[in-house]
Structure 1
Amino acid sequence: MLPGRILSATAPALRQVARPRPAVIGRRWNSSSSEPSAYSSFFKSFGRPITKVCLMAVFTYQLVFFGWTKLEQDEVRSERQAEISSLEAKVKDLQEGKKE
């Protein structure tokens, strides 16, 4: 049996379901006023500058944060190295004291 023959009885119903709907173009949500709202006009004029300022602030924060973290790691590393050097010197002095 062919699949077309099985669906022949339901074909009109399938055509109605599969029929594409026309696209709605240019729908206005607020059809009573022809002018845009103050909110939308504000963001049309200042949206890009506000976005640029926010992105630059995030970039600056990240740059300062990573710089601060690097300096802090260098400080901790130098403190640990100084402690290791002092402990090595103490061990060397103790080993020399035992040999004598």
Structure 2
Amino acid sequence: MYLHGGGWDIGYFDIRDWSAYGLAQGARLAIFAVDCHACPAPLEDCLNACATLRKGEVAKNHSQTRLMVACESAGGKLAAGLCMALRRGAVAGLPGG
């Protein structure tokens, strides 16, 4: 799961997609990029995206149990918030939930 940067208000995936594509090629992994809304919704967007991935609603042939979060810039705060929320059980059926 890739969370783009952009300072919370000027970023959107289309201007950062090269980072996600480069990571996917270098790591030989499938990348699911989250295009977050403006504050205060981004963390909710990330939680919903994570739940969608874990349910296999995006690609059933990819692992729903082995997910990682990659990010840049403002996406780093989202990644930290997402991991903390999951640890606290923010989404039923996910680790900590």
Place the TM-score, normalised by the shorter chain, in its bin. under 0.3
Q: Choose between structure 1 and 2: higher strand proportion.
A: 2
Give the structure, 1 or 2, with the largest relative contact order (CA under 8 Å, sep 6 or more).
2
TM-score (normalizing by structure 2)? 0.21
TM-score (normalizing by structure 1)? 0.21
